[in-house]
Structure 1
Amino acid sequence: MALATSPLSLVCKAWRAHLDSALNGPDRSKVNVVLGTPAGAASAAGDGSPHHQVNLFFYRFEPAGLFPDTLPGDTAWVRGFCLVTPFAVGEDSVGEGENDLRLLGEVLRLAHEQPVLQVPVDDTVVQLQVMLQPLGLDALNQLWSTQGDAVYRPSALFEVSLLPVIPAQPTLAGPWAGALGLGVQAPLTAEATTPSARGPAVPAMVPDLRQSDWAPALAWVQDGQCALSLGFVVGSPALAAFTPRLWLAGQPGMPVTLHWQHWSRTQGWVDHPTVTEARIASPGIWPDQAAGAPLLALPLPDTSQPGQWALHAERAWVRPADGAPLTLRSNPLLISLSAA
């Protein structure tokens, strides 16, 4: 019985598949991109294979050095180090040595032009970065001395990060705090008073459109006032009469998608399939102008159960440096539904 795949193996295989697709163009010689040790690749090349090989040797993994508060039920992140070694064959008047350099040069070019990859892993997308790293002579000698009789080939070391370690039973993320407040009461008064909490004031939010990677901004508008979080009781008249009205800011006319997430005690945060297409109508959010703001009515997907609903806006963006497609996300908005 074959071993089950792991997120670590899926990410490493994704980079292998990316290189395999890029190196095997329609007008190029066949190149086998494999995962394994240099000794194993050298043995396969020595068996008279007519095809070139590029071997990916993931030989070291280290903690990410970030996220010191990661708990056992949270996803952990590690850095992987991969030695890339070509095992080329001679073709016509081009010898093995020159073909080794041609293959290694192509790998270096691909890592330079497209250092960021998006890899689907277990219902999520991991953003992977590939970076060329120096490899000293001592470390290089020690590494190849473990490969038996394999003859040294020109190689390059890459850091592949960050690789996910996903728990089999992940911890459910807790609800968000809608607002924090403080109630003060004099203990010696004869009349009892009811402490009240007021949410923080919403500041003006104006995306910097001078930057190409600007993110949209969102705010609720309720009773002529801006809010980042709202709360209702399930089954109450206030909830029955409530329709979320959204103030969406950014570059006017730019299309965005609005995504809901729902939190429950049993499932934690779950993406809701309801996705709304919208266009931005305002360059910014100014709370003192909420009464005349261009608003979008956006009904809650479900109001029958206690829990929380979070909303954010996304827009697609292609990073000019390397052409990597990225998703830019707005600030989140929250609606809390409590039991009666």
Structure 2
Amino acid sequence: MTQHADVVVVGGGQAGLAAGYHLRRQGVGFVILDAQATPGGAWQETWDSLRLFSPAAYSSLPGRLMSAQPGETYPDAQHAVDYLTDYEKRYELPVQRPVRVEGIHRDGRRLRVETDSGRWSAQAVISATGTWWRPFLPSIPDRGVFGGRQLHTVQYRNPGEFAGQRVVVVGGGNSGAQIAADLAPTTDLTWVTRRPPRFLADDIDGRALFDAATARRRALDTGDADTGGVASLGDIVAVPPVREARDAGLLTAQPMFTHLTEDGVEWPDGTRTRADAIIWCTGFRPALSTLAPLGLRGPHGHIPTAGTRAVGEPRLHLLGYGDWTGPASATLIGVGRPAREAAREIAGVLRA
């Protein structure tokens, strides 16, 4: 049996909920299909000590401010999960879970959404699957010969299981810095980055990053000079745990090694460091496998978009994957605006 909806939103994390909020305001019928068993999106999968980059009031979805977490300037991941759970309930968003979408297909004038629990037919689809579910590992020679443990950011939880061990953390972004800071007091830590780490000024957090991303998008849209956006400010937000570890001299980065050995890593000059574990904090790629039947990827795997709308399939919108689907759209504060624009555009087409 095929179920019908004006719009199917794929993904029930922050981007999917923001889309649902604005679709409802537009009076559009929709359903949100989420593969997770419980609310909270990727926030419920993160490491224990993770902190948001902005105060609660600046980490909010449209329509409802996130409350402050007592005793914390920067809320933890569980606070974000609680907020998203409450947000979903408050606006009575029609989330069905766990429903895993297996593929999206053209079906005449509609799109067909195949899932592990049935089929949906929609006039439009919003893909809001995020990136957490597709961790990226760089190509490094001899990775397979290393006899210790290797894991990605998505698999790290807390320093307890690494106490007293020799740990190499790879990555100069926020996850690398936060996990390195988490491990530094209780492990023999080696922090490795491709270039010297760039800490943002201590008074810069997600609020300033959102403003920088928005200003860059505005400049590009109007033909002005590229402001550089977030990348011009730095790579690492100095949230309190990172700041404390940095100021204590515990976050001294080494340049990137060339390959792995049986018991560690080796640099170009032959210097070796032994390791019990390597944690790859090397980022993510958009989780877009459900869109493969539509054949939209370009030569480099990128799906061209105009705003959030896929150029090659105007009934499809992509939301929450980064600046290419809206300034800072992968953040809580940033996803609201492109969600509103996508909902308005879809509603306009449906009413035409």
**TM-score, structure 1 normalization:** 0.20
Higher Cα radius of gyration: 1
Higher strand share: 1
Q: Which has the higher contact order (CA 8 A, sep 6+)?
A: 2
Higher helix share: 2
**TM-score, structure 2 normalization:** 0.19
